[in-house]
Chain A
Amino acid sequence: QKEVEQDPGPLSVPEGAIVSLNCTYSNSAFQYFMWYRQYSRKGPELLMYTYSSGNKEDGRFTAQVDKSSKYISLFIRDSQPSDSATYLCAMTKSGGYQKVTFGIGTKLQVIP
């Protein structure tokens, strides 16, 4: 079983919808949580990162971490066709020299 589980999708939503993307993980030592957006044939772009539990908001994006459930989410409000991409969750333990564990990525398509 993988340390980080993420549904690969694809997920299709109409423009303007609220999108919910999720990951579960098994290692309780993970402390830093990140979301990346990757357009086709491009490198992943960091969207948000959070430390430990809680919420973080940045424009139309909200990241949530529930460490008790080992569950993280990314919400996209008022989704746009330009949000169509693959979204990867990532996480790492605290302390120096820790490798990052990535989810497989969820492919999102926002339909005009």
Chain B
Amino acid sequence: EADIYQTPRYLVIGTGKKITLECSQTMGHDKMYWYQQDPGMELHLIHYSYGVNSTEKGDLSSESTVSRIRTEHFPLTLESARPSHTSQYLCASSDSTTDTQYFGPGTRLTVL
């Protein structure tokens, strides 16, 4: 059973607001990931981290930023939300041996 949590689950916010999506895991995994997924579409990797103080951009360009100050915590921040940021954001973590990823429930973001 995966223990990875995301808050909020749903967020509706106006254009220009700063938002932070929270992700935490209790499995002690070094690796964590953020994906963006539009309804019925494929997953797109936007950020990943292989450990504390390590962050990298993913395959899909994103205006969001991430930080990894603690192993269990990997928040994603949008400094100024726009309607084009409307999507589902999925956080995942993986163990170092198999890279099997475990996903959180996701945050559905709507920017008006």
| A positions within 8 Å CB-CB of B | 32, 34, 36, 41-46, 49, 51, 88, 90, 92, 96-100, 102-105, 107
A–B Cβ pairs within 8 angstroms, 23 of them = A36-B103, A41-B108, A43-B104, A43-B105, A44-B103, A45-B103, A46-B2, A46-B100, A46-B102, A49-B100, A51-B98, A88-B43, A92-B99, A97-B31, A99-B45, A99-B48, A100-B94, A102-B42, A102-B43, A103-B42, A104-B41, A104-B42, A105-B42
Q: Is the CB of A98 within 8 A of B99?
A: yes
A46 to B96, CA, bound (A): 16
Residues of A within 8 A of B31 (CB): 97
Q: Are B98 and A49 in contact (CB under 8 A)?
A: yes
Which residues of B come within 8 Å of A, CB atoms?
2, 6, 31, 39-43, 45, 48, 50, 88, 90, 92, 94, 96, 98-106, 108
In whole angstroms, how far apart are the Cα atoms of A41 and B90 in the complex? 10
**Cβ of A4 to closest chain B Cβ, rounded Å:** 10
A103 nearest in chain B by CB position: B42
Q: Are A96 and B103 in contact (CB under 8 A)?
A: no
B53 smallest CB distance to A (angstroms) = 15
Having A90-B101, A105-B42, one finds 6 other A-B pairs with CB under 8 Å, namely A32-B100, A43-B90, A44-B43, A45-B103, A46-B102, A46-B103
For the complex formed, measure the closest distance between the CB of B95 and the CB atoms of chain A, giving whole angstroms: 11
Q: In the bound complex, do residue A46 and residue B101 qualify as a contact, i.e. CB atoms below 8 Å apart?
A: yes
A44 and B94 contact, Cβ closer than 8 Å, known pairs A98-B99, A100-B101: no
Query: When chains A and B are docked, how far (Å) is the Cα of A93 from the Cα of B94?
Result: 14
Q: Is the CB of A43 within 8 A of B99?
A: no
Residues on B with beta carbons closer than 8 Å to the beta carbon of A92: 99
Q: A88-B43, A102-B42 are in contact. Are A43 and B100 (CB under 8 A)?
A: no
The residue in chain A whose Cβ has the minimal distance to the Cβ of B104 is A43
Alpha-carbon gap, A96 to B29, bound state (A): 13
CA A103 to CA B45, docked complex, whole Å: 13
